[in-house]
């Protein structure tokens, strides 16, 4: 089989085969064959993309690749993979099978119905016995088994069948609610680099990544991904570090400055002395932090199960007490048949299912019930800045002209020079000129580009410069008047600055901003209305840019110039103080913090790894959907509390009637099941108002 290595990390391989290499059934066969190889833990094959995701242990990488290469369609295509395919892949299919089975059995003769009821009850009875033996105590499983067992001993197979069906339905719903298995989180952080260029003995040599050694000089040119953590030995370049710091603009890297794996050289060329690679790089440590945080999250217990388990001993005590007092087995049985736990176990997953579906309709993908509870109780929301509160697309906000130049002249000249270079700020300048219908003919001579500084050329016989303040004022010696300096200082508190000089004089400045999302301000206001007491912004950007954004939307607490591990430590610090924390971010650099928080929220246009790690994904990319998510969480928890109150009240009344002999155990079971059904139907009702209109962001922001 033909394939290429798409991603690779220790213990994980993602291979890509040509499209159409195997069908869905053949994919199951390929996975089953590879899982027979020594060291292979699991294999996931996608026939749509031709992807093979392989998890393994030990030093078996070479043998796995060899085995994949030896796979031949003439072999695996002859094996029937139907038996390997999951028969019920969806909740709907499972429920349809359950309901169909109940209806089908109702048509069978009485003797056969009893036989099938006994056969279906065996797993419930076995689960209760195992639970009693292992835990040495009573829980919901023991009570379920007792209720079914007593009903069967009394010959009440109808009640036993109904209880068994309800229990099976509850297990299906609960399993579906929490079934959100994630692919390897670290896999999305793979650099996808098999070979790289190094300088050795004065020559450039292409070597496999596995042969790289600490101290080697790695060559990375424009557009290349830096494969190592290291220090710049030679060269100068603009490096996009958004994957690690979240900075919206590339930074200048020169000799003796550090660079990190996973960042991208946008312009220029670097010779980097490798200090760390593979598992030792900073980006790989992000993956480790994610795995650690996910393991901690997995220990959280379902509160509904605990509550149901806590009630169980009292049901047994009540049944025993009634029998000792009345010597009436029928009345004692009522205490087991009319229990609280069945309805409680159903109310929670059904409410969560309803909330998740309602969220999905609004473009809010919620990955599990525990995150709804955390949403409801959270007091603190932490935001990343770049790409989360802002749209991460620089634009020209203001233009100031000096020395007789017009605003249009400054923009036209700047666009004329910047159109030669593809970086984000240059694109913003050119786009602004296009929007204002300013044509910029090629009147200048050949451009000279100084990496990380700016552009120099000649226009109508005069030297023209555009770039950073360091380039224009320090390197080129362009003077700056006091009035001009005051304007620059005032504007630099809000914007990044681009300077244009013509003939040795400052001609103008272009103020560049990364605009806020239009719903950011109202989102902050509404979150506080919803009970959020603390809003924090964490960013890798500089302090001025961070303070400017925070001031516009009313965030009082700002932490700037943070690395991913700093953000994660801040989240952990907040959690140690005893508060529930919601983290909102969109980049790879935010992933550890998303994983460490009680609830991680990301946007649909965020990085793939952020979407994998996050507990909630905002599909429509609207920040305001955080408010809807909060309301869903609060509403779901309130609905569960009301359901509990109804369940306790209704079943207590039925218990009283059954123990007093006013109704028979069969009637108690029937009314109990009807009450459970009523609670279930209520749990599936909508939480949010269906007529609620989306906020008018433009009107709000203009207030």
Lowest-confidence pick of 35-49, 212-226, 234-248: 234-248
Domain of 448: which CATH number? 3.40.1110.10
Shared-domain flag, residues 445 and 537: no
Structure tokens at 197: 């260029």
Sheet containing 12-16: give its strands across: 4-9, 12-16, 51-56, 40-46
- Residue 686 inside a domain? The answer is no
Shared-domain flag, residues 478 and 582: no
pLDDT of residue 87: 41
Torsion of Cα atoms, 176 then 180 then 181 then 186, to 10°: 180
Structure tokens at 470: 């360091």
> What's the first-to-final CA gap in the chain, in angstroms?
63
Burial class (CB in 10 A: 0-12, 13-18, 19+), 230: buried
φ/ψ (deg, to 5) at 56:
-150, 165
Shared-domain flag, residues 382 and 531: yes
pLDDT of residue 280: 67
CB 277 within 8 A of CB 208: no
Please tell me the distance from the alpha carbon of residue 344 to that of residue 353, in angstroms, as a whole number.
14
CB 518 within 8 A of CB 393: no
Query: For residue 365, what pLDDT band results from cuts at 50, 70 and 90?
Result: confident
Query: For residue 179, what pLDDT band results from cuts at 50, 70 and 90?
Result: very low
List own/partner pairs for 401-404 with CB under 8 A and 24 or more apart: 401/507, 401/508, 402/481, 402/484, 402/505, 402/506, 402/507, 402/508, 403/502, 403/505, 403/506, 403/507
pLDDT of residue 246: 52
pLDDT of residue 183: 38
- Residue 347 inside a domain? The answer is no
Domain of 259: which CATH number? 2.70.150.10
Task: Say if residue 290's pLDDT is above 80.
Answer: no
pLDDT of residue 195: 79
pLDDT of residue 293: 44
Q: Which residues contact 686 (CB under 8 A, 6 or more apart)?
A: 354, 358
Shared-domain flag, residues 433 and 539: no
Give the range with max mean pLDDT: 215-224, 290-299, 329-338.
Answer: 215-224
Shared-domain flag, residues 410 and 481: yes
DSSP state letters, 459-491 = ETTEEEEEE-HIIIIIIS-----HHHHHHHHHH
- CB-side neighbour CA atoms (13 Å) of 407: 8
Query: For residue 355, what pLDDT band results from cuts at 50, 70 and 90?
Result: confident
CB 385 within 8 A of CB 536: no
Shared-domain flag, residues 238 and 384: no
Task: Say if residue 188's pLDDT is above 70.
Answer: no
Domain of 529: which CATH number? 3.40.50.1000
Query: For residue 626, what pLDDT band results from cuts at 50, 70 and 90?
Result: very high
- CB-side neighbour CA atoms (13 Å) of 299: 4
Give the range with max mean pLDDT: 43-52, 100-109, 158-167, 170-179.
Answer: 43-52
pLDDT of residue 304: 58
CB 58 within 8 A of CB 40: no
Lowest-confidence pick of 28-42, 193-207, 232-246: 232-246
CB 593 within 8 A of CB 538: yes
Please tell me the distance from the alpha carbon of residue 327 to that of residue 325, in angstroms, as a whole number.
6
Task: Say if residue 92's pLDDT is above 90.
Answer: no
Dihedral over Cα of 221, 223, 228, 230: its sign? positive
Lowest-confidence pick of 171-175, 389-393, 517-521, 523-527: 171-175
- Taking phi over 0 as left and psi of -120 to 50 as alpha, with beta for the rest, 38 belongs to beta
Lowest-confidence pick of 23-32, 321-330, 488-497: 321-330
Mean pLDDT on 309-337: 70
DSSP state letters, 348-411 = HHHHHHHHHHHHHHTTEEE--HHHHHHHHH--EEEEE-TTTTB-S--EEEEEEE-TT--HHHHH
Question: What are the residues facing 598 on neighbouring strands?
Answer: none
pLDDT of residue 251: 82
Shared-domain flag, residues 465 and 453: yes
The secondary structure of residue 226, as a DSSP letter, is P
Structure tokens at 474: 């320090």
CB 220 within 8 A of CB 270: yes
Shared-domain flag, residues 400 and 503: yes
Question: What are the residues facing 15 on neighbouring strands?
Answer: 5, 52
Among 629, 612, 538, CA closest to 294 = 612
Query: For residue 619, what pLDDT band results from cuts at 50, 70 and 90?
Result: confident
Q: Which residues contact 417 (CB under 8 A, 6 or more apart)?
A: 444, 447, 455, 457, 464, 466
Task: Say if residue 181's pLDDT is above 70.
Answer: no
Share of the chain above pLDDT 70, in %: 71
pLDDT in tens, 653-671: 877 776 676 776 557 666 7
Shared-domain flag, residues 35 and 75: yes
Please tell me the distance from the alpha carbon of residue 502 to that of residue 516, in angstroms, as a whole number.
33
- Residue 637 inside a domain? The answer is no
Structure tokens at 491: 């504007």
Query: What is the distance, to the nearest Å, from the Cα of residue 297 to the centroid of all Cα atoms in its chain?
Result: 14
Shared-domain flag, residues 495 and 546: no
For residue 344, what is the enclosing H or E element? helix 341-361
CB neighbourhood size of 116 (10 A): 16
Lowest-confidence pick of 165-169, 208-212, 574-578: 165-169
Shared-domain flag, residues 504 and 593: no
- Taking phi over 0 as left and psi of -120 to 50 as alpha, with beta for the rest, 52 belongs to beta
φ/ψ (deg, to 5) at 573:
-65, -45
pLDDT of residue 380: 94
pLDDT of residue 534: 92
- Residue 424 inside a domain? The answer is yes
Mean pLDDT on 639-663: 78
Among 604, 617, 584, CA closest to 180 = 617
CB neighbourhood size of 170 (10 A): 24
Give the range with max mean pLDDT: 147-156, 190-199, 497-506, 633-642.
Answer: 497-506
pLDDT in tens, 465-517: 998 888 899 888 999 999 999 998 888 777 878 899 999 999 999 998 878 88
Query: For residue 298, what pLDDT band results from cuts at 50, 70 and 90?
Result: very low
Distances (CA, A) of 230 to 204, 255, 257: 18, 11, 9
Examine the fold and report which residue of 513, 539, 565 is the final residue of a domain before the chain moves on: 513
Structure tokens at 142: 């023991």
pLDDT of residue 422: 59
Torsion of Cα atoms, 229 then 233 then 237 then 238, to 10°: 30
Please tell me the distance from the alpha carbon of residue 496 to that of residue 639, in angstroms, as a whole number.
49
Domain residue limits at 12: 4-84
Query: For residue 339, what pLDDT band results from cuts at 50, 70 and 90?
Result: low
Indicate which residue of 156, 216, 229, 384 is catalytic.
Answer: 384
pLDDT of residue 242: 64
pLDDT of residue 43: 86
Average pLDDT, the chain: 76
- Residue 630 inside a domain? The answer is no
pLDDT of residue 235: 92
Please tell me the distance from the alpha carbon of residue 656 to that of residue 671, in angstroms, as a whole number.
13
- Residue 154 inside a domain? The answer is no
Query: For residue 541, what pLDDT band results from cuts at 50, 70 and 90?
Result: low
Please tell me the distance from the alpha carbon of residue 610 to that of residue 589, in angstroms, as a whole number.
9
Examine the fold and report which residue of 486, 513, 540 is the final residue of a domain before the chain moves on: 513
Question: What are the residues facing 455 on neighbouring strands?
Answer: 449, 466
- CB-side neighbour CA atoms (13 Å) of 221: 4
DSSP state letters, 64-132 = HHHHHHH--HHHHTTS--GGGS-S--SHHHHHHHHHHHHHHHHTS-HHHHHHHHHHHHHHHHHHHHHHH
- Residue 265 inside a domain? The answer is yes
Mean pLDDT on 549-556: 87
Please tell me the distance from the alpha carbon of residue 426 to that of residue 416, in angstroms, as a whole number.
10
Query: For residue 89, what pLDDT band results from cuts at 50, 70 and 90?
Result: very low
Helices (H), 246-302: 282-297
Q: Where are the beta strands (DSSP E) in 311-361?
A: none
Higher-pLDDT residue of 96, 313 = 313
Please tell me the distance from the alpha carbon of residue 83 to that of residue 97, in angstroms, as a whole number.
18
CB 346 within 8 A of CB 340: no
The reply to whether 384 belongs to the active site is yes
- Residue 560 inside a domain? The answer is yes
Mean pLDDT on 365-379: 83
pTM of the model: 0.57
- CB-side neighbour CA atoms (13 Å) of 17: 22
Lowest-confidence pick of 5-14, 276-285, 415-424: 276-285
Share of the chain above pLDDT 90, in %: 16
Lowest-confidence pick of 248-252, 329-333, 485-489: 329-333
Shared-domain flag, residues 534 and 471: no
Examine the fold and report which residue of 66, 84, 102 is the final residue of a domain before the chain moves on: 84
pLDDT of residue 665: 59
Query: What is the distance, to the nearest Å, from the Cα of residue 511 to the centroid of all Cα atoms in its chain?
Result: 34
Structure tokens at 293: 């945080």
Q: Which residues contact 548 (CB under 8 A, 6 or more apart)?
A: 493, 494, 495
**Structural domains counted in the chain:** 4
């Amino acid at each position: 089989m033909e394939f290429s290595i798409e991603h690779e990390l220790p213990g994980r391989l993602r291979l890509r085969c040509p499209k159409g290499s195997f069908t869905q059934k053949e994919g199951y066969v390929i996975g089953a064959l590879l899982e027979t190889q020594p060291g292979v833990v699991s294999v996931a094959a996608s026939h749509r993309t031709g992807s093979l995701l392989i998890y393994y242990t030990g030093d078996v990488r070479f043998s796995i690749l060899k085995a994949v290469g030896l796979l031949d369609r003439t072999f695996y295509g002859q094996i029937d993979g139907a038996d390997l395919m999951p028969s019920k892949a969806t909740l709907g299919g499972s429920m349809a099978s359950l309901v169909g089975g109940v209806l089908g059995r109702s048509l069978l003769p009485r003797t056969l119905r009893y036989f099938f009821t006994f056969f279906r009850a065996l797993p419930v009875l076995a689960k209760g016995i195992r639970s009693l033996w292992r835990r040495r105590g009573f829980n919901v499983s023991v009570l379920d088994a007792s209720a079914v067992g007593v009903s069967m001993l009394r010959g009440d197979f109808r009640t036993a069948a109904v209880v068994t069906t309800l229990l099976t339905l509850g297990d299906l719903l609960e399993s579906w609610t929490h079934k959100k298995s994630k692919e390897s989180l670290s896999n999305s952080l793979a650099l996808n680099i098999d070979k790289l260029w190094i300088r050795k003995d004065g020559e450039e040599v292409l070597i496999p990544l596995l042969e790289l050694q600490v101290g080697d000089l790695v060559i990375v040119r424009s557009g290349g991904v830096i494969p190592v953590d290291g220090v710049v030995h030679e060269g100068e370049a603009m490096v996009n570090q958004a994957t690690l710091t979240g900075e919206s603009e590339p930074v200048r890297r020169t000799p003796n400055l550090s660079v990190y794996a996973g960042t991208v050289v946008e312009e220029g060329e670097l010779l980097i002395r490798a200090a760390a690679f593979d598992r030792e790089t900073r980006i790989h440590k992000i993956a480790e932090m994610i795995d650690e945080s996910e393991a901690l999250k997995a220990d959280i217990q379902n509160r509904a199960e605990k509550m149901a388990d806590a009630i169980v001993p009292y049901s047994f005590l009540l049944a025993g007490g009634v029998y000792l007092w009345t010597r009436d087995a029928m009345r004692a049985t009522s205490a087991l048949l009319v229990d609280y736990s069945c309805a409680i176990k159903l109310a929670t997953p059904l409410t969560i299912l309803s909330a998740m579906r309602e969220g999905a309709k609004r473009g809010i993908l919620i990955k599990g019930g525990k995150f709804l509870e955390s949403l409801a109780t959270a007091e603190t929301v932490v935001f990343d800045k770049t790409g989360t509160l802002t749209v991460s697309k620089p634009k020209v906000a203001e233009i100031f002209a000096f020395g007789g130049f017009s605003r249009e002249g400054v923009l036209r000249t700047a666009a004329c020079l910047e159109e030669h270079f593809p970086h984000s700020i240059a694109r913003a300048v050119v786009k602004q000129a296009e929007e204002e219908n300013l044509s910029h003919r090629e009147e200048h001579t050949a451009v000279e580009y100084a990496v990380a500084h700016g552009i120099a050329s000649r226009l109508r016989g005069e030297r023209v410069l555009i770039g950073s303040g360091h380039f224009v004022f320090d390197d080129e010696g362009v003077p700056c008047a006091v009035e001009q300096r005051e304007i620059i200082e005032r504007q630099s508190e809000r914007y990044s600055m681009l300077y244009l000089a013509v003939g040795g004089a400052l001609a103008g400045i272009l103020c560049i901003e990364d605009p806020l999302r239009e719903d950011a301000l109202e989102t902050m206001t509404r979150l506080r209305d919803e009970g959020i007491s603390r809003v924090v912004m964490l960013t890798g950007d500089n302090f001025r840019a961070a303070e400017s954004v925070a001031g516009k939307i009313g965030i009082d607490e700002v932490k700037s110039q943070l690395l991913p591990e700093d953000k994660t430590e801040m989240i952990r610090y907040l959690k140690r103080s005893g508060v529930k924390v919601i983290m909102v971010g969109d980049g790879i650099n935010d992933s550890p913090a998303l994983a460490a928080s009680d609830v991680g929220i990301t946007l649909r246009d965020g990085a793939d790894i952020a979407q994998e790690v996050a507990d909630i994904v905002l599909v429509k990319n609207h920040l305001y959907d955080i408010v809807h998510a909060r309301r869903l969480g609060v509403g779901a928890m309130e609905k569960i509390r009301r359901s509990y109150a109804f369940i306790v009240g209704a079943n207590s009344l039925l218990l009283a009637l059954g123990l007093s002999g006013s109704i028979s155990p069969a009637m108690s079971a029937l009314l109990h099941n009807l009450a459970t059904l009523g609670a279930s139907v209520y749990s599936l009702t909508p939480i949010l108002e269906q007529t609620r209109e989306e906020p008018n962001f433009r009107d709000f922001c203009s207030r």
